[in-house]
Structure 1
């Protein structure tokens, strides 16, 4: 299960990075619509973080960006 969660975290973070790196211009009138995407990524990241912690992975979600950071020993049992 830990290995699967770590793979999920990597995939989630790849989406966050791709959106950050794309630097897509957002029209002023669509700013709040675009913010919902980041909000959903942050909520998804928090859900994944909670699941990771329940399975013994020390993780934290940056609720501003949605990025998940994993700490500690990552030995998969």
Structure 2
């Protein structure tokens, strides 16, 4: 639950973070769009991951991939 909260906090604050670093609104909007695209793509690929892995390995992979994707 903490990982989900953290990832949503980063997603919600993507635009202010990018603008604060000197980028324009267009680039910030594109980056938020890429986050959304990644979420949709992940939902399409999750059933395949579910069939080929255990609950424990999925938890480890998904918990590690979230921060690495945001960082």
TM range (shorter): 0.3 to 0.5
The structure with the greater share of residues assigned to strand is 1
Q: Greater share of helix residues, 1 or 2? A: 2
Q: What is the TM-score with the length of structure 1 in the denominator?
A: 0.40
Q: Given the two structures, how large is their TM-score scaled by the length of structure 2?
A: 0.42
